[in-house]
Chain A
């Protein structure tokens, strides 16, 4: 239940921030901080037992959404936010007490998606070129 909520929150947080930056032309920091603040205030008032995890998850997801258009498109940002949600749920408790853990998780997931995408493109490009030459 917590994992599912975290993943949904991550997807929403990242997509909302990405939308605010690229469609509404807000500055990256404002597009991350404003939704995180609003979400944090709203979630605090709701009687949810794991609200602290959701708050932190949402803030971290907004970092994923801060990715530049030239690095990742909105679909890849969605994939990165999903990976971020998993990293947040399973690995982040290990670095409790250190600031920037959320950002590090977001950075790792964005970097992973970026380099996997690059590697796949290169691999498939070579594959298609070889197949084309054979024809």
Chain B
């Protein structure tokens, strides 16, 4: 059974936020550098089983996007609300633009970068 629009978004959001928090945890509690923390998060995330029901959710990719977001000190230092806000932005952006940039390397990092900048800018402006 295919997941519906909102369920898919929620699933992507949870995995993205999970990736973000896991990467942040590795950096803050275990003292890992951002690159090691992001790579470890991505590697752990890639072992999440991709069942038929959630295969369209791209769980592995969204976990990795979350890890990239947590690599940036400006988002992480701003606290949990900012992480949550950037995660919502990142999920929404990835949800809508991923069909157009399919197959290009760095698309996940690009989404993380756009959402980080947008989150930072909106936080300052609003």
List, in ascending order, chain A residues with CB within 8 A of B42's CB. 29-30, 32-33, 36
**Which residues between 58 and 77 of chain A lie within 8 Å of chain B, taking CB atoms?**
58-60, 63-68, 70-72, 77
Shortest Cβ distance from residue A88 to the other chain B in the assembled complex, whole angstroms: 11
Q: Is A93 an interface residue (CB 8 A)?
A: no
Complex partner residue of B104 from A36, A67, A100, CB under 8 angstroms = A67
Task: Look across to chain A and name the residue whose beta carbon is closest to the beta carbon of B65.
Answer: A100
Q: Is B91 an interface residue (CB 8 A)?
A: no
Q: Is A47 an interface residue (CB 8 A)?
A: no
Task: Look across to chain B and name the residue whose beta carbon is closest to the beta carbon of A35.
Answer: B39
Task: Look across to chain B and name the residue whose beta carbon is closest to the beta carbon of A27.
Answer: B46
A114 in contact with B43 (CB, 8 Å): no
Contacts A29-B46, A30-B46, A33-B42 hold; do A99 and B72 have CB atoms under 8 A apart?
A: yes
Docked pose: A77 CA to B34 CA in angstroms: 25
Q: Is B35 an interface residue (CB 8 A)?
A: yes
A103 in contact with B106 (CB, 8 Å): yes
Report the interface size class on chain B.
35 or more
List, in ascending order, chain B residues with CB within 8 A of A60's CB. 106, 109
List, in ascending order, chain A residues with CB within 8 A of B61's CB. 28-29
Docked pose: A60 CA to B38 CA in angstroms: 11
Shortest Cβ distance from residue B31 to the other chain A in the assembled complex, whole angstroms: 12
Interface string of B71-82 (1 = CB under 8 A from A): 111110000000
Please report A residues at the B interface, Cβ cutoff 8 Å: 14, 27-30, 32-34, 36-37, 40-41, 44, 52, 55-56, 58-60, 63-68, 70-72, 77, 80, 95, 97-111, 114
The 7 closest A-B pairs by CB, nearest first: A103-B109, A106-B106, A100-B112, A99-B72, A100-B113, A68-B103, A107-B106
